[in-house]
Structure 1
Amino acid sequence: MHTTVAPTQAVSQRFAPIVFVLTLFLSASLLFFVQPLFTRVVLPHVGGSPAVWTTAMLFFQTILIAGYLYAHVLTRLLPVRGQVLVHLAVWAAALLSLPLGVPEGWQLDPTGSTAWQTLLLFAAGVGLPFFALSANAPLIQFWYSRSGGPSAHDPYFLYGASNLGSLIALLGFPLAAEPILGASAIGLVWAVGFVALGGALALSGLFTQGPAAVTPKDHKCATRNSAWQVAQWGFLAFIPSSLMLGITLKISIDMGSFPLVWVVPLALYLFTFVLAFSNRRVLSDRTVRIIAALSLAVLSLYVLGFHGSYLEWEEVGVLLLCFFSITLFAHRRLYAARPAGHGLTGFYLTMSVGGALGGLFNSLIAPVAFSGLHELLITTVLAVLLFIPFAASAGETLAKLARGGATGLALAMPAILTGLVAGDPGHWTAVLLILFIGAILALAWMRRDPLGCFGAGVVVLVTGLMHVPDGSVWRDRSFFGTHVIVEDVGLRLYGNGTTVHGAQRLADDDAERPEPLYYYHRNGPMAQVLTSARGTAADTVGVLGLGVGSLACYKQPGQNWHFYEIDSLVDKIARSPEYFRFLSACAPEAPTHMGDGRMVLARQKDLAFDVLVIDAYSSDAVPVHLTTNEAMQLYLDRLSPDGILLYHISNRYYDIDIPLARSAADLGLSARVQHYQANVSEDPGDSSSSVVMIARSPDAFGELNDDPRWKILESDGGRVWTDDYANLISIMTR
């Protein structure tokens, strides 16, 4: 009589590594491919903010905790056969969520928390499949440790293989899949891969059913890790996670929130796992430590603002290189602190908690607690602890930090008193000099106590930052970015991200109608349209992107104006006459429709604009969903037959006129473009700007059709951008 048996030990040893590596590779590829994929799908529904990615990462990291916790509990409660069956059931349940997409009828409520709504949207759309995938790394490694295969006693090498799959998937999305395929086709390929994963999981399970399989009682022999050791694992995971999100946000604010900007830092983050979780060493630990220390010093200069007002491409590369070096060092320390194979699932669970805490800090706590992007500064300071050996206990660590903090406070007291007595921001240089001397004394005094030096240094640094003059009249932060108002050379300026989005002369505080400045100056392209015969004869004007409301002062008597704004904080600024008077003086009755402009317009089917202005490009970011063929068609549907569509496309990094020209040609429209060069020496309130003007026919442009400043905008014949396909890499400024 013949019976079916599990694979023999010899077969397991030969084929187990191949099966497990391929399964983990496929799982990791699906896990990290779906992150930019689903975020790309969600982005139009939540306004295209750079904060969407940090919020998405918080969701993914939180679900990763749930997956690792599930794996941890599963391996302790069930024998391996039971683990395989339960996990296959979870995978089967996740199939019900395919194909991935936003639930029908979902809409963002602009009065509620955007972050929480985004988290709930991700949970509804991709929660269960991502949960099933997130448990695979620790589960499959645990199964391999019971397979009898090579290095089964130390299966951490599989984590490097899984991160290699993650890395390839991440880079493949923006560099290959997105430029070639649309989101729908990519989603279909992903679904096929997820279905195939079930077979790979089942096959892996076969290799764990042999004599080496164990039951939960065998874990009783495991050595329990101390709470302090677990806390160290969490800290070593927190720093790279928070650094990654902070640097990603800094880059996104300047260059836009889109997959390539998201995945490059994340890919570098994963690549450090590939390098760190391996016994092969290209560079020695000492070399990596030195490079990381130098990188932290360079990163500190950027975080403290010792660069220009915005990032150049080369500076982005420097930031990413610094991040990579610091993260590699942190993950090498994490790998060196790993437990034996019996503690594998607990180790990964702690890693996921540390990473999620980084996401929680950057995504939810920082926007509420800070008025600026201070989370990157805080994490950079904490990263100094990577270079300091951990103390023997948590109590000893806290005691040394407290002693150092007290010493730092004592040494900083002369500077604090100087600042209080002087009461003049002009004396801040003297305060900083005193603090610098105090820092040198602290270093000399506590040189044998690195933790104490760190505590003293933090106190001195915080004291110094508190005394550096801010220079702003008002500063705050929302889900959609940072906002600051400053006064300089007779102007009051509003900045969002790294770009000035409006200005008013201080002398106009008492004027009947303040004069629009910067991009909205009377010499500029937008003013040319609004003050032309067509513009002044318009009955209804719409503006997507409120800013400080500068365009409102081109409103003519009897005209009906509508503004669209997704950020309630921007509306508050524009309607506060103590800051800017454009709306209150020129169009106090004009409503602001809150929410994503495209989504709101889609519901307002009874409006017909004679002029519709698209001015929603925050900082130099490009909200792709406002630039697609479908978006342009929607704008046309809201235009009168002779209406004019204006896109404000001033940008340091992207040639946005390229996709607009393609869509205009595809829809049979007439398009003009003007790249206006301002004479700033003649009027500092003027600013260069680029504007695209589109209408159904050239006659709609009126006298501007013959204006030599407006050039015909022709398509380059490239692929038209749609809601399903867009390629920002192809329009980067060369």
Structure 2
Amino acid sequence: MQSSPISAVSQSRALAPVLFTATIFLSASLLFFVQPLFTKIVLPRIGGSPAVWTTAMLFFQLVLIAGYLYAHLLTRHLSVRAQLIVHLGVWAAALLFLPLTVPQDWQFDPAGAVAWQTLLLFAAGVGLPFFALSANAPLIQFWYARSGGPSASDPYFLYGASNLGSLTALLGFPLLAAPFLGAASIGLGWACGFVALGAFLLASGLQAREGGAVARPVRAAQAAADRPKAGDIVWWALLAFVPSSLMLAVTSKVSLDVGSVPLVWVVPLSLYLMSFVVTFSNRTWRALPHAETGMTVVLIVMLVLLGGTSGKHLSWLSVAVLIVGFFLVALYAHRKLYEARPASAHLTAFYLTMSVGGALGGLFNSIIGPVLFSGLYEGVATLLVARLLMLGVRERIAQVPGALLRGAAVAGLAAVPALAAWAVLGIEGVKILLALLAVPGLIALLWLGQDRVAGFGAAVTLLIAALSVWPDTAQFRDRSFFGTHIVANEDGMRIYGNGTTVHGAQRLSDDAQSAAPEPLFYYHRNGPMAQVMTSQRGQQAQSVGIVGLGVGSLACYRQPHQDWQFYEIDPMVDMVARMPHLFRFVSDCAPEAPTHLGDARIVLEDQTEHRYDILVIDAYSSDSVPVHLTTDEAIALYMDRLASGGVLVFHISNRYYEIERPLGRSAEAQGLVALLQDYAGNVASDPGDSPSKVVIMARDRADLGDLADDPRWQSLGSDGGRLWTDDYANLLSILK
């Protein structure tokens, strides 16, 4: 007996959640998979500088906004049938870009604008596929609202499934795909998934079209609903901004204080996506007693940790507290965002605004923050915005700027006498100044009465006033896109560091000496780096190239007859190294040695005329691994830049990775001689004599001179693992 058309339609509508959930899950998985995939594909061609990474993220965020805008315009002006035809046309056009690869006629110009070239490369290589995927989250939800399926009038639960797909891809790429497959194989699998997505889109669009008869009354009701007001749009953007910015701030703080722990970025980003999965659901949340008070406590604790007032560096316990606090704030903001969602007729505008708010969070942390702040203070600013959003400002959000200015003005006027007294009397104690500021602060808060927003503005103004006079003992403090830069005096040494990573040091006693300063830490005269430079081969070398300048410690091993050249990715590092009042290594020992700025692999590829007797790759001491500088192709390039009889030196001191393993594999594959020294250091007798690990390579053992017979150097062979190439490299496989 055949089923009736009515029962078939009912069954189809009942299965609609399964179809749409599978579609949006697959689309989000492909979206999050393609970002690290294509970046991996192009990395050897454009280098690994933060400018490249920042531009890549900017590209993805801009295209995401474009995709959401496209979905918004599509749903506002076309019927479901026309939407399906147009979107499948975009998907079909994107098939022409598969498999993903760098266009054959594309060439990197080292003299050109890196950011602009990166944007053009990503647009030409992955622009249309990423655009097609970006539009799917709002578009599929819009279609489900017209499908006649369960909860069709409130399709926002699908956004949770979308973020679950994103989370799956986020964890799947580094843990499942990258360890076993090369970029080409991963790209082929991704292309198959993209092709399959077309069938899911077709089925979803047809389901939405078939459910149109049932959905029409709902659509009419939604169309009659009030359009979102300007205040609603600002509210959505702010709620999306806070978790996005805070996620980046927490990641940067953890990376700075405990080092570039493997996959450190995965945990905050995973929790960020998980907060969407948890909050964007039809489940009813019970209001917890004193929830606002609890969130205030969370914000205060995070403010202390991100502000650096809890200690010089975060402990692992503090890291855990910070990450949990971030997750709670993300849950709070995203649930508020879900509760503020409009009727489904306006969901595309809602998601478009969300994408803009999230992108503003990335823009604030990656572009604006480094310009405004000398330290990692974006998290502090974002926490203050989060606290402001808790003051019940949604209904009067247009009045917030005026209230904040009023509070700031009252606090500023009240604080003038205290600041004047502090300046005139010359009181140096910060505690006394803070006590003086407390009095006008109390007066300001009493004057403002019940206006919580104005009181908040007054409190922030007083906080900024107090921080502006807080003493800073650092000799130098600044920031670039590559991180924070701090030079401080500690234990009789002037240390140049970034969080827990030390980039070099000079004894304070050397300031008064006329002789050249003594290299310290990794470059101490007892260590393997010094052994290479002071060996017979090192003394005989005519030309020396150094990739990674630091404070220029190695420069003081230079001989008068030698030609030295440095390669450094961060212009601020070069600037600090050449400041004689901070570090004298370069100015005293190699003042005429040029510094080639940019990603070393890209710069060296362009310098076809250069041949070095010794080439030092010193880019591994920050606890991360620049993979594109470690592949078989990279080592082949270094060897090509060596003169006959030249020696290649890798400084691979690292807390988390055994970098000698892929180096040994490439040495064997290329028929090179490789030696390793793992120096234990002697910090007990000399704090500047630290442990270090160095690998040296040459075409022939004789090229190593007296180092070849030095018992401190051990032969380095292959461990039998897979060769690292530009197509394949597995960081997790070399974890200590």
| TM-score clears 0.5 | yes
- Is residue 49–residue 569 contact of structure 2 (8 Å, CA) maintained in 1? no
Q: Secondary structure at the match of 1:454?
A: helix
- After the TM superposition, which of the residue ranges 45-54 and 333-342 deviates more from structure 2? 45-54
Alpha-carbon distance, 1:466 to partner: 1.0
Residue 79 of structure 2 is matched in structure 1 by: 79
- After the TM superposition, which of the residue ranges 596-605 and 119-128 deviates more from structure 2? 119-128
Residue 165 of structure 1 is matched in structure 2 by: 165
What is the rounded CA distance, in whole Å, between the counterparts of 1:441 and 1:145 in structure 2?
54
- Is residue 257–residue 623 contact of structure 1 (8 Å, CA) maintained in 2? no
What is the rounded CA distance, in whole Å, between the counterparts of 1:477 and 1:601 in structure 2?
26
Q: Deviations over 1:592-646 (max 9, x none)?
A: 2222111222233333322211112363222111122222222222224433222
What is the rounded CA distance, in whole Å, between the counterparts of 1:626 and 1:471 in structure 2?
36
- After the TM superposition, which of the residue ranges 623-632 and 526-535 deviates more from structure 2? 623-632
Alpha-carbon distance, 1:532 to partner: 1.1
Alignment of 1:364 onto 2:367: yes
- Is residue 647–residue 691 contact of structure 1 (8 Å, CA) maintained in 2? yes
5+ residue gaps, structure 1, are none
Alignment of 1:64 onto 2:64: yes
Alpha-carbon distance, 1:192 to partner: 1.3
Change (3 A) 1:707 1:244: same
TM-score by length of structure 2 reads 0.90
Counterpart amino acid of residue 331 in structure 2: L
What is the rounded CA distance, in whole Å, between the counterparts of 2:452 and 2:628 in structure 1?
50
Mapping of 1:618-637 within 5 angstroms? 619-637=622-640
Residue 524 of structure 1 is matched in structure 2 by: 527
What is the rounded CA distance, in whole Å, between the counterparts of 1:463 and 1:512 in structure 2?
44
1:613 pairs with one of 616, 628, 650 = 616
1:514 pairs with one of 506, 517, 523 = 517
Q: Deviations over 1:369-402 (max 9, x none)?
A: 3332222221122222243222532343234323
Q: Secondary structure at the match of 1:326?
A: helix
What is the rounded CA distance, in whole Å, between the counterparts of 2:199 and 2:230 in structure 1?
38
- Is residue 276–residue 331 contact of structure 1 (8 Å, CA) maintained in 2? yes
Residue 472 of structure 2 is matched in structure 1 by: 470
Change (3 A) 1:627 1:285: farther
Q: Secondary structure at the match of 2:380?
A: helix
Counterpart amino acid of residue 330 in structure 1: A
1:322 pairs with one of 321, 325, 331 = 325
Q: Secondary structure at the match of 1:180?
A: coil
Alpha-carbon distance, 1:207 to partner: 1.0
Alpha-carbon distance, 1:686 to partner: 3.7
1:667 pairs with one of 662, 667, 670 = 670
Q: Secondary structure at the match of 1:260?
A: coil
1:726 pairs with one of 713, 724, 729 = 729
Alignment of 1:300 onto 2:299: no
Residue 456 of structure 1 is matched in structure 2 by: 458
- After the TM superposition, which of the residue ranges 259-268 and 203-212 deviates more from structure 2? 259-268
- Is residue 163–residue 274 contact of structure 1 (8 Å, CA) maintained in 2? yes
- After the TM superposition, which of the residue ranges 64-73 and 46-55 deviates more from structure 2? 46-55
Alpha-carbon distance, 1:307 to partner: 5.4
Mapping of 1:48-63 within 5 angstroms? 48-49=48-49, 52-63=52-63
- Is residue 12–residue 147 contact of structure 1 (8 Å, CA) maintained in 2? no
What is the rounded CA distance, in whole Å, between the counterparts of 1:608 and 1:600 in structure 2?
14
Alignment of 1:695 onto 2:698: yes
Change (3 A) 1:435 1:125: farther
- After the TM superposition, which of the residue ranges 336-345 and 53-62 deviates more from structure 2? 53-62
Counterpart amino acid of residue 401 in structure 1: L
Counterpart amino acid of residue 458 in structure 1: V
Change (3 A) 1:232 1:486: same
What is the rounded CA distance, in whole Å, between the counterparts of 2:64 and 2:455 in structure 1?
36
Alignment of 1:676 onto 2:675: no
What is the rounded CA distance, in whole Å, between the counterparts of 2:465 and 2:393 in structure 1?
26
Counterpart amino acid of residue 482 in structure 1: T
- Is residue 617–residue 651 contact of structure 2 (8 Å, CA) maintained in 1? yes
Q: Secondary structure at the match of 2:521?
A: coil
Alpha-carbon distance, 1:156 to partner: 0.8
Q: Deviations over 1:629-683 (max 9, x none)?
A: 2222222222244332221122233332333233334434333333334444544
- Is residue 651–residue 695 contact of structure 2 (8 Å, CA) maintained in 1? yes
- Is residue 55–residue 363 contact of structure 1 (8 Å, CA) maintained in 2? no
Q: Deviations over 1:673-722 (max 9, x none)?
A: 33334444544444332222233444433333343433444544333322
Counterpart amino acid of residue 322 in structure 1: G
Residue 229 of structure 2 is matched in structure 1 by: 226
- After the TM superposition, which of the residue ranges 214-223 and 659-668 deviates more from structure 2? 214-223
- After the TM superposition, which of the residue ranges 113-122 and 88-97 deviates more from structure 2? 113-122
Q: Secondary structure at the match of 1:451?
A: helix
Counterpart amino acid of residue 57 in structure 2: M
What is the rounded CA distance, in whole Å, between the counterparts of 2:96 and 2:717 in structure 1?
46
Alpha-carbon distance, 1:439 to partner: 5.6
What is the rounded CA distance, in whole Å, between the counterparts of 2:43 and 2:209 in structure 1?
44
- Is residue 272–residue 331 contact of structure 1 (8 Å, CA) maintained in 2? yes
Change (3 A) 1:646 1:348: same
What is the rounded CA distance, in whole Å, between the counterparts of 1:31 and 1:196 in structure 2?
14
- Is residue 474–residue 486 contact of structure 2 (8 Å, CA) maintained in 1? yes
What is the rounded CA distance, in whole Å, between the counterparts of 1:6 and 1:529 in structure 2?
83
1:244 pairs with one of 241, 247, 251 = 247
- Is residue 621–residue 651 contact of structure 2 (8 Å, CA) maintained in 1? no
Alpha-carbon distance, 1:306 to partner: 4.0
Mapping of 1:15-94 within 5 angstroms? 15-49=15-49, 52-94=52-94
Q: Secondary structure at the match of 1:207?
A: helix
Mapping of 1:484-499 within 5 angstroms? 484-488=486-490, 491-496=493-498, 498-499=500-501
What is the rounded CA distance, in whole Å, between the counterparts of 2:448 and 2:432 in structure 1?
24
2:650 pairs with one of 628, 647, 655 = 647
Alpha-carbon distance, 1:73 to partner: 1.2
Change (3 A) 1:359 1:286: farther
Counterpart amino acid of residue 87 in structure 1: H
Change (3 A) 1:132 1:384: same
Mapping of 1:296-445 within 5 angstroms? 296-306=299-309, 309-310=312-313, 315-410=318-413, 412-413=415-416, 415-421=418-424, 426-435=428-437
What is the rounded CA distance, in whole Å, between the counterparts of 1:6 and 1:481 in structure 2?
63
Alpha-carbon distance, 1:561 to partner: 1.7
Q: Secondary structure at the match of 2:15?
A: helix
Residue 130 of structure 2 is matched in structure 1 by: 130
Q: Secondary structure at the match of 2:566?
A: strand
Change (3 A) 1:43 1:471: farther
Change (3 A) 1:184 1:174: same
Change (3 A) 1:618 1:651: closer
Residue 279 of structure 1 is matched in structure 2 by: 282
- Is residue 650–residue 691 contact of structure 1 (8 Å, CA) maintained in 2? yes
Q: Deviations over 1:182-201 (max 9, x none)?
A: 12211111111111111211
Residue 704 of structure 1 is matched in structure 2 by: 707
- Is residue 391–residue 397 contact of structure 1 (8 Å, CA) maintained in 2? no
Change (3 A) 1:440 1:673: farther
Alpha-carbon distance, 1:173 to partner: 0.8
What is the rounded CA distance, in whole Å, between the counterparts of 2:416 and 2:328 in structure 1?
36
Q: Deviations over 1:44-73 (max 9, x none)?
A: 445434565554333322222111111111
RMSD of the TM alignment (CA)? 3.1
Alpha-carbon distance, 1:28 to partner: 0.9
Change (3 A) 1:111 1:605: closer
Residue 13 of structure 1 is matched in structure 2 by: 13
What is the rounded CA distance, in whole Å, between the counterparts of 1:730 and 1:421 in structure 2?
62
Alpha-carbon distance, 1:516 to partner: 2.3
- Is residue 253–residue 306 contact of structure 2 (8 Å, CA) maintained in 1? no
Counterpart amino acid of residue 81 in structure 2: R
TM-score by length of structure 1 reads 0.91
- Is residue 23–residue 200 contact of structure 2 (8 Å, CA) maintained in 1? yes
